[in-house]
Structure 1
Amino acid sequence: MDGLFLAMVVIVVVALAFDYTNGFHDAANSIAVAVSTKALTPKVALALAAVMNLVGALISTEVAKTVGAGIIDTPEGSGGLQIVFAALVGAITWNLITWYFGLPSSSSHALIGGLVGAALAAVHSVQWLGIVEKVVVPMVLSPLVGFGLGYLFMLAVLWSFRGANVTRANRGFRYAQIISSATMALGHGLQDAQKTMGIITLALVTAGEIDTFEVPLWVVIAAALAISAGTYAGGFRIMRTLGRRIIQLTPAGGFSAQTVASAVMVTTATVFAVPVSTTHITTTSIMGVGATRRLSAVRWGVAGNIVVAWVLTLPAAGAVAAGVYYVVHAIVG
């Protein structure tokens, strides 16, 4: 087993570890609301999210191609594998830090920030136009869309059920949340599992194992299983932040937030093939729903802390990745 192949194997293992942390870090995105409204128990919600993450990951690879081939130019050889390895370590580190403090930051942007930071440290070319079009613009627009649609959808629900019996309506919305939770987990699999597929495929191209950027079937299956396992492991710290600390949602509000968030995630993955943050979309959808009561109903202080974590994600993950690259390059050469 030559050194290049061994390095590639290590990267595949680390990438799947990132995928696992992505699962438990972002599991709360698809289940926090349903658990907080008592539509599902935590164990049932996690099992549902794990299964639907698996299904979503098997449907498409368009986002994987964007992440693997649209952020940095494809590197070559040992130096290229060092860039990919450093990017993964930077992303995992930021995931663990924000998970520990219960902050729902973006695993997607942590990975992209890691790639850019490692590439800059290696003086490797970055596709800045692709980053602006495929990362920065969706990063800004998707939360705004989530907030706006969450607000409007909740208004439509309130108007449509204005004369309904509250107890009966709440029961119906709890059942509906099972479907919306499953759809959210499907969207999460379509988005976040693909990012790991893209990184592994990038490593395979860099090591010369494959000639073109086409995601192999075994990569799709491995990434899908890793994120599903991580999802089932749970993310209860972040679940509390999304499900209760931003705003206490009703079953109707929970259904509205999940429906909007899942629609945005599925559309951006299948129609536009852009990697958006499932965390950003979920959080702002919840805020948009909460704002229909009154603006003071949303705990803006908690929301402000989350926004700070969002802003820091790209540079923080990039800085860690750059440091890791310097260390690895100094050791390996």
Structure 2
Amino acid sequence: MEIGVSAFAETTPDPGTGELVSHAERLRQVVEEIVLADQVGLDVYGLGEHHRPDYAASAPAVVLAAAASRTSRIRLSSAVTVLSSDDPVRVFQQFATLDGLSGGRAEIMAGRGSFIESFPLFGYDLEDYDDLYAEKLDLLLAIRQDPDHVVWAGDKHRAAIPGLGVFPRPVQSPLPVWIAVGGNPQSVVRAGTLGLPLAIAIIGGMPEQFAPLAELYREAGRRAGHDPSTLRVATHSHGFVAPTTQRATDVHFRPYQAVMNGLGRERGWNHFSRTSYEAARSRRGALLVGNPEEVAEKIVAQHEQLGIDRFMLHVSAGTMPHADVLKAIELLGTEVAPLVREHVG
């Protein structure tokens, strides 16, 4: 059972003071978070890709590489790479480079992206949203399978590759690629059919509602002939951990509310109130906020409900004091993770 952290390098205004952390400062903070996560024994740190002013990490591989030389064991992953609007050759090269710098600890978490700013930025049409992802995933996997001799016939969105090599070579062979989904059954079946590990984002509702997706994934993998032991499932949830429940909610609520309502205005969501927050934080809710015992209990519940092999806690949705974020990562590694691992054996 692997436990880790994910982040988007948020740079939203502090809800109390209105102050903004610069992109440069936030990126340095992320490196500090990764170093601490490694020191306290966490297994993975995932960094998301965004192309908008309230997130600093448009190039996760670069940020993860900055942490590679200062860490020794933690796995370094995108969370996610928006593959639809990127070039699979460059994605592979970037993460193969990261893999070399880290001594074989890089991972790609490939997704279609729930934010769409990258599509017009890189000249893609949202009408091609699904086709872009399917075609570029096929190319990425072709490169991963045989980087010495990539043969690609070409398609609507990418020119042919006539048996060329892609460099550098990664340490890991093959370079790990996860499929990230938000609940789309077709994406889940694709991951299972390809035999790739699956990462499910659970940021609303109840985690138990996602159990059918995990089973759908495993069934698709079995039907495709893959060894069930290789069909790994991870979940990613928002949350925060502090020495006490009161401290956790005091630090987390206002920044989280500000982010959820900001996104809600863009996407037509209902207002996120304190009542909404407490419902999400309840025993069966998707939000993991509380003391170490409470957070561990909810991770264990996801393990029992979905059979997960990895859990990633998104600890900094919104701008919070960096010292509190570091404390949350410390507690996740030193108190939450041991409780979870003891329970799941």
The TM-score with structure 1 as length reference comes to 0.22
The TM-score with structure 2 as length reference comes to 0.21
Structure with the largest fraction of helix: 1
Q: Which has the higher contact order (CA 8 A, sep 6+)?
A: 1
Structure with the largest fraction of strand: 2
